[in-house]
């Protein structure tokens, strides 16, 4: 063994686990699921939908496992491509710190644990968790090399977490869960196109098609604005009285409307400037937007 070999320590294992599961992304997804759960519990008067710390815990850990598994499978599939890009070349598999077989073991174990936990929440939650992993690893990941439509496909698993929380709380997929899905579905496009814009050169090294036209052009910028508008419309639906037991007060609706205008403003700035800085700003705004929107929905439920 070389004297310069990296020691096998708990700190190293923890770091690689964080990297292969993309902990930052996974935690944000878990937050969306928890938000959906808090919105859903107790809405139908059914004792089964009463608040449960145990159910919330299983949802959070199970959700993290499912997202972590998807990311681990993705890093095995794209290990050679990840090695070409600056932002991904130091990932555990791409850098060689973790073998593909080790990563597959981690991904498989996380899948099993996640499905068991979500199944114990309810069967629908486990089903949507399984669908999310399948779409992300088997459809979205390979399509990234061939067509910008990969972002459309990837928006489906990306939109599941918010809805999943409602399903976990109520064991029901109806207009309420569908509305939460729609909100996070439309949010995916300005968010990921902003990322695709400011990381365009890096993605190009691996041959990934992330922007709708494949270029940083007028059409891409216009579509980013359009989907930001659709996001605003979807986010306002709960104030109109057509989304069942999911609704927000007029005060919350005003706040949500202003948040939507905030997103659209920075989408327009991207159209005007077409710079990496403008795209990065839109990405950061989009992350803040979805978190603030979910907090407004939750606070409105408990304060009105």
Q: Has residue 180 got a pLDDT over 90?
A: yes
Asked which of 37-46, 71-80, 284-293 is least confident by mean pLDDT, the reply is: 37-46
Q: Does 128 reside within a domain?
A: yes
191-223 pLDDT, tens digit each? 999 999 999 999 999 888 889 998 999 999 999
Question: Is 224 part of any domain?
Answer: yes
Residue-wise pLDDT for 6-23, tens only, equals 456 788 888 889 999 999
Tell me, yes or no, whether 164 and 18 share the same domain: yes
- Regarding whether 194 and 141 lie in a shared domain, the answer is no
Number of domains in the chain: 2
For the stretch 96-136, pLDDT in tens is: 999 999 999 999 999 999 999 999 999 999 999 999 999 99
Please check whether residues 98 and 187 belong to one and the same domain. no
Shared-domain flag, residues 277 and 197: yes
Phi, psi values for residue 243, rounded to 5°: -115, 40
Both 204 and 70 in one domain: the answer is no
Percent of the chain clearing pLDDT 70 (strictly above): 96
Residues 193 and 116 in one domain: no
Residue 20 lies in a domain: yes
Q: Whole-number mean pLDDT of the chain?
A: 92
139 with 212, same domain? no
The DSSP string of 161-230 is HHHHHHHHHHS--SHHHHHHHHHHHHHHHHHHHHHHHHTHHHHHHHT---STTSSSSHHHHHHHHHHHHH
Q: What is the pLDDT of residue 28?
A: 93
The confidence score (pLDDT) of residue 12 equals: 84
The domain boundary, picked from 145, 173, 201, lies at: 173
Distance CA 222, CA 177 (A): 29
- pLDDT tens figures, 240-276: 989 999 999 999 999 999 999 999 999 999 999 999 9
- Domain endpoint, select from 173, 188, 215: 173
Q: Are 104 and 76 in contact (CB under 8 A)?
A: yes
pTM of the model: 0.91
What integer pLDDT is reported at residue 47 of this predicted model? Answer: 65
Which CATH number covers residue 39?
1.10.357.140
Quick one: 239 and 254 in the same domain? yes
**Residues in Cβ contact with 202 at an 8 Å cutoff, skipping those fewer than 6 apart:** 85, 86, 87
28/166 same-domain check: yes
Write down the pLDDT at residue 45.
65
> In which domain, by residue range, is 199 found?
174-304
> Is 113 contained in some domain?
yes
Which of 111, 146, 173 is at the close of a domain? 173
Let me know whether 78 and 191 are in one domain.
no
Residues in Cβ contact with 301 at an 8 Å cutoff, skipping those fewer than 6 apart: 38, 39
């Amino acid at each position: 063994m070389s004297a310069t070999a990296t020691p096998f320590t708990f700190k190293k294992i923890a770091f690689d686990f964080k990297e292969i599961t993309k902990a930052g992304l996974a935690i944000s997804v878990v937050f969306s699921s928890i938000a959906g759960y808090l919105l859903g519990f107790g809405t139908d008067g059914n004792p089964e939908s009463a608040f449960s710390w145990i159910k919330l815990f299983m949802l959070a850990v199970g959700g993290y496992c499912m997202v972590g598994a998807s990311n681990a499978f993705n890093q095995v599939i794209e290990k050679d491509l990840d090695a070409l890009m600056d932002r991904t070349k130091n990932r555990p598999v791409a850098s060689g710190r973790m073998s593909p077989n080790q990563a597959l073991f981690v991904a498989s174990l996380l899948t099993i644990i996640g499905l068991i936990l979500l199944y114990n929440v309810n069967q629908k939650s486990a089903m949507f968790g399984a669908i999310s992993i399948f779409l992300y690893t088997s459809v979205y990941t390979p399509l990234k090399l061939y067509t910008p439509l990969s972002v459309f496909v990837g928006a489906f698993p990306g939109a599941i977490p918010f809805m999943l929380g409602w399903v976990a709380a109520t064991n029901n997929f109806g207009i309420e869960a569908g509305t939460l899905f729609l909100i996070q579905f439309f949010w995916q496009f300005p968010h990921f196109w902003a990322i695709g814009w400011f990381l365009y050169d890096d993605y190009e090294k691996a041959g990934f098609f992330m922007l709708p036209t494949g270029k940083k052009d007028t059409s891409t910028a216009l579509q980013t604005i359009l989907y930001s508008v659709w996001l605003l419309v979807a986010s306002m639906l709960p104030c109109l009285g057509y989304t069942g037991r999911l609704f927000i007060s007029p005060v919350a609706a005003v706040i949500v409307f202003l948040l939507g205008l905030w997103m659209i403003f920075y989408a327009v700035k991207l159209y005007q400037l077409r710079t990496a800085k403008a795209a990065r700003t839109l990405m950061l705004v989009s992350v803040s937007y979805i978190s603030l929107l979910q907090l407004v929905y939750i606070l409105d439920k408990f304060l009105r």
